[in-house]
Amino acid sequence: MKWFLILWACPVILLTGWYGLSYYDMSFGIFMLTRQGHDLVFAVYGHALGLPPETIPPLVARAIAFDSLIVFAIIALRKRRQIRAWYNSRFPAVQSAESGAASFANDVNLSSAP
Bigger pLDDT: 1 vs 113: 1
Flag whether 111 is in a domain: no
Q: With respect to residue 74, please indicate whether it lies within any of the assigned structural domains.
A: no
Does 31 map to a domain? yes
H/E element holding 24? none
Dist. CA 69–CA 83, nearest whole Å:
17
pLDDT digits (tens, 9 = 90+) for 75-89: 999 888 888 888 888
3-class DSSP state of 26: coil
Average pLDDT over residues 85-105: 68
pLDDT band at residue 105 under the 50/70/90 scheme: low
pLDDT number for residue 29: 86
Q: Is 45 domain-assigned?
A: yes
Is residue 109, in this structure, part of any structural domain at all? Answer: no
pTM summary value: 0.67
Q: Residue 43 domain-assigned?
A: yes
pLDDT tens digits along 3-51: 888 999 999 999 999 999 998 888 888 888 899 999 999 999 999 999 9
CA 57 to CA 113: how far, in whole Å? 62
* pLDDT for the residue 83: 83
The Cα-based distances of 101 to 84, 88, 89, 93 in angstroms read 19, 16, 19, 12
Residue 17 lies in a domain: yes
Write the CB contacts of 27 (distance below 8 Å, at least 6 apart in sequence). 21, 33, 34, 37
Count of domains forming the chain: 1
Domain that holds residue 26: 1-55
What is the mean pLDDT of the segment spanning 56-67? 95
pLDDT at residue 41 in the model: 94
Query: Within a domain: residue 96?
Result: no
Taking the C-alpha atoms of residue 88 and residue 86, their distance in angstroms, rounded to an integer, is 6
